[in-house]
Structure 1
């Protein structure tokens, strides 16, 4: 008889109490004590398979051999489960690596494994699984869209790649659609302002795509997904090494070429697309483990939507209506740590984005180049202060064929050139183990708007490992680039009217976050509750209501507010069931001064008061897993025309999905399921689709209300119920 003993710890070396240790196909087993240690006495000779599990951790299984009356020791390290509100390392909130629990800024972390519960062709579609984050469709013909955080429109969301503000303005619509999933380590989401660190456009929130370190990436990974609608998505990654340099190459390909018109309006229900993206990242091994990396990405996309008889010969004509967009994009991202005692880093990026498009017979051709560089000093001062000091410079060149880049006399072309230098400073003060304070300030100078100041303050109180309270206040700003942001200005038949010179937007923001973790022997229960309030001045608003033939842009003569509360819950049982759910209530509106009426309150378009997400995962025997996921929305205000027969508010609806996955020991995964189980499809996606060029709009008999062709009335995809099937394969090492 032998003795089996050891200790169960997490990846940080912390002991795990009450972990279950079971010898499969026997009656032997035990639980770890408060120090993580376990002992199983009187084990007969032989070979065993030992399973170790604990709530909130990924189960582990190892083989055990007892060869005599000896004592065998096996120490086990368990990995925390995906999306668990525990102790992940994050960088987005403070621009340095810090434990998520210790960060004074609340940061939500999502790994690719979480998004695999509802596989999608791109990260853009995947973020719909995040409570309070909504990919919003802006056009029912070309399917351009953006990302709303807490009800704020896409231009208020800053997309980062490895901390670089590389996706903004013109390419925001396509930025997340071309990042290979094989390159993604995790997504970090900050809901609320971050202008004191990241500058303009970080007013509503941040999504930071952290790409994999090539050293830790799988040797080979592939993921092929197809649907019954005819969509095909291929994602692949490969790692290789050249001397002291390790490289990770990723490829993403998406193709959809079927003309589908289930609602019989003679327009494609979904935009036809052909997109390829290549991403290559290099990590260079240096002395004293200093950082050095370089990454590049290229994206090409050809998409079109329109009348069913449209083909490329009609591109730009007024015979058959179609919206056709060719997009080319190139990016370079780099990080270098200086060879000195102090921790000094330089980050740089450059991106070139070209769009060649026709919206019916309206052309839109634009090119944007953004160069960005910042250097910062990361300094620990004693055991209590962590100091950050940096300088940044962003230079944007934008040119298009609209009046936005015309000279003052309207005769010559005058591309917009916008330098935006900035300085930032931040101090994290750990007053004691329970209290910490963050103070931050950023100064930027815009050539048109002058000095811009963005301070912020954040406080964290954590009396123990089960409770954390965070409170923060800050200001934000956004320099307006109208035509680079609002593709609604180009779709349909509306004329763009700019009422006056537009001023930069400012915001004042606060939020209160509470996290409560309840670990027990039977389950782990976590609550994450956040209340938020943002007050905007000079907010840029598009008036769709005054004239159905126009979009009138102006700074708001009043103020706007985004306020609400979000609640996230995760529940993991000792048996293989895991539940995640989130609910957001928000009240997003603007109050504008009206003659003889005072201030009039107007609800924000496409901002439902109630929304939520849910996922449920259950592990079945023989390595099967079933996942149920979905998103639901309450009524949201929609852009309508005068005397419109369409409802001003959308109905309650839910998009639910179910998936079954089978994992094999050789690294292969097969998965399949059904999307949009309830077959929900919006009504009235287009106004007057039979007259897209408005040739008969003035006919008082056939069109007494003066309706015009309109593509902006939308609140969900027109894709109905459909099946999907996919295969994944991974080789971790040689």
Structure 2
């Protein structure tokens, strides 16, 4: 059924393209006018750089694209970018997988400052509204050389917008299926001395259910609010001060079973201060102070109203940082930075209230030895109170052969520190009876459990937990080519490989007298992700833009490859068990071999209107081992490949009123195993500028 819908989607897209391209040809613009203004990106080098000249694999999503596709949440935007896919977690949130790397390895920033709140490794990207976003900057590959831990797979930086000159504002409201409402109001003022803005957003939904055979919802009803403000004061031409704040709050029904229900709540705030000062034409200084708190609570009640359980998660993060920029001439730029992270977490089922302190320093050299060559060298050193120090180098270059073709390459080291859960968890499941211990909790918890008569035998000696759990680390390689064969066509190819070592996994460390096990965390696996990304854009005239992207991905465990090659893995079917070959090993869970996207944007300036249609495709992937050999192989059960198609139409009335309508997932694709695709969503949207 879903395959037929996917075929209809492709047919619909071809018909639309044919009808658009069959219209009378528009007179081509002058070659200078047809070139878009150079897009500027900050995240990749922490300096303003033209996107087209960067030697790193980066992607910029502009405000114009976000407005035209009528997206409400960050996840919707990211899910349509090549090499990215949103992955749902067990709590209903969505993390982002980049180049086959899990969501816990991608650092998410707002205006250059990190978001926190990864209760199980995943940071829910749908906490972030896109209504006040200026642009989204995506840097792929290990970026710890500038950003430290969690940037092992890459960085996504959400840049919020600044107010335009004078007094201005905007009201935006979108209503759709499942009683989903997203409404935002922004006000701003800007002159030569002062700029200030405030933004308020409300987002709510009745949720949805993909399985009618039980009484539980796939996503429970929720409502959340976002409040943010930003103010900048220019003392003079050389000195300015920026202060910003953000507050997010959400409440959601929490239904765990037919008998247990309650409520979950999230409160998050971010505060950011930044002082810029230009000492002279060559030296500039920056000081930033950032603090954030993420607090989540949940409670479950019995049918009689009595309390069944309570849970809490209270994380705090503080960072001061100073940075110097030295530009001796137009061909060279140096950055020197130093700071300190201070982080605490108070959480249910923790053996302690941990505190991390990690001072760091970093530097970067950005040079243009010739007009055709750009070279970037950088490194960062992180000390830490709970794990070994980390040195993170990075190097990249871009060589422009001519106006049509350029080559770029980069190599970088990334790391992810063990999180609080992996170090201090002390949890016992009350109904089943198994126990999960953080690495640092083992030496005290196991003796206590032995005294209480809970341990049958020790599988892993306690002495193995006297050493620190090592950070996960990766070396990332990227090799890309930019090609502009003729005016209006752009092609980009990027080859990538990420070698990940000291991957943190769980293992059985003891057997309990109740027949269950004790689990803990340890460094064991070596895995890799590698593949190819291809992007292309075609602009035949000033009305039509057609773009597409494709990713080929191989994500595998090196140890698994060895045991398959040695013929040590078997599978079972109705005829009995049989030996598997090396070619039968599929790879890591929840990774698709093929992903693609296709987008068509069409402008109707005479009608003050625009329309677009967008499609994404994901090939089959496995979620678990279904034949009992502990590996994902060709004989396991897979989620079938699928495509999702969205359409949006917007029309402006006068100068300040825009009405939009559209449908996400036009053909209503659903699969009970894919909890973040809810079915067809029809919506209407109104924007008012003043």
Structure 1 pair 450–657 and aligned structure 2 pair: CA distance change class (3 A): same
For 1:466 and 1:321, the matched residues in 2 are separated by 63
Q: CA 1:290/1:465 → structure 2, altered by over 3 Å: closer, same or farther?
A: farther
| TM-superposition CA deviations, 1:336-385 (whole Å, max 9, x none) | 11363320111221001111024785543111000012111111133432
- The equivalent residue for 2:682 is 723
Contact 1:203 1:477 in 2 (8 A): yes
Q: Which residue of 2 aligns with 1:380?
A: 327
- In the TM superposition, 1:558-569 aligns within 5 A as 558-569=525-536
Contact 1:590/1:602, CA 8 A, preserved across alignment = no
- Give the match for residue 45 of structure 2: 94
1:508-587 equivalences under 5 Å are 508-520=475-487, 524-541=488-505, 554-574=521-541, 576-587=543-554
Across the aligned residues of Structure 1 and Structure 2, the Cα RMSD in angstroms comes to 3.4
| Partner Cα distance (2:518, 2:400) in 1 | 49
Instruction: Name stretches of at least 5 consecutive residues in structure 1 with no aligned partner.
Output: 1-28, 37-53, 58-79, 81-86, 308-317, 407-413, 684-713
Partner of 1:12: none
- Give the one of 276, 284, 292 matched to 1:337: 276
Deviation string 1:168-227 (CA, Å, 9 cap, x unpaired) is: 644985664344434211000001110000000100111001112234697111211111
Is 1:505 paired with 2:472?
yes
> Is 1:265 aligned to residue 204 of structure 2?
no
| 1:177–1:720 distance in 2 versus 1, CA, 3 Å | closer
Q: TM-score, normalising length from structure 1?
A: 0.75
Q: After the TM superposition, which residues 175-186 of structure 1 pair with which residues of structure 2 at under 5 Å, given as runs?
A: 176-186=125-135
In the aligned structure 2, how far is the partner of 1:596 from the partner of 1:232? 51
Which residue pairs with 1:622 in the alignment? 607
Q: Please point out which of 644, 656, 661 is paired with 1:655.
A: 644
The corresponding residue for 1:111 is 62
Moved more, 394-403 or 585-594: 585-594
Among candidates 215, 218, 237, match of residue 186 of structure 2: 237
Offset of 1:323 from its aligned partner? 7.0
Matched, 1:124 2:109: no
Range 388-397 or range 211-220, more displaced: 211-220
State the 1:480 CA deviation: 1.3
Could you tell me whether the CA contact under 8 Å between 2:29 and 2:542 is conserved in 1?
A: no
Q: Could you say which residue in structure 1 is the equivalent of 2:455?
A: none
Work out whether residues 111 and 159 of structure 2, in 8 Å CA contact, stay in contact via their aligned partners in 1.
yes
In the alignment, what sits opposite 1:203? 152
- Classify 1:595/1:663 alpha carbon distance in 2 versus 1 (closer, same or farther; 3 Å): closer
Q: How does 1:218-229 map to 2 (within 5 A)?
A: 219-229=168-178
- Cα 1:328–1:32, aligned 2, differ >3 Å: closer, same or farther? closer
Match of 2:371 in 1: 433
In 2: Cα distance, 1:499 partner to 1:182 partner: 39
Aligned residues: 600
1:455-474 correspondence to structure 2 within 5 Å: 455-474=393-412
CA positional deviation for 1:96: 0.7
TM-score normalised by the chain length of structure 2: 0.80
Correspondence for 2:288? 347
* CA distance in 1 between partners of 2:667 and 2:258 (Å): 37
Larger mean Cα displacement after TM superposition, 124-133 or 151-160: 124-133
Find the counterpart in structure 2 of residue 411 from structure 1.
none
* Cα distance change of structure 1 residues 381 and 592 upon mapping to structure 2, 3 Å threshold: same
Gap change, CA 1:574 and 1:125, over 3 Å in 2:
closer
Q: Which one is further off, 273-282 or 339-348?
A: 339-348
What per-residue deviation string (whole Å, max 9, x for no partner) do you get for residues 276-318 of structure 1?
01000111122115342111000100123537xxxxxxxxxx7
3-state SS of 1:287 partner: coil
Q: Would the alpha carbon gap of residues 262 and 152 (structure 1) be closer, same or farther in structure 2, given more than 3 Å must change?
A: same
The answer to whether 1:483 aligns with 2:418 is no
Which ranges in structure 2 are unaligned for 5 or more consecutive residues?
1-25, 302-307, 440-464, 570-584, 630-634
Deviations 1:459-509 (A, max 9, x none): 11012232221101111111111539999x999988563585532111111
User: Are residues 652 and 334 of structure 1, via their aligned partners in 2, closer, same or farther at CA, if it must alter by over 3 Å?
Assistant: same
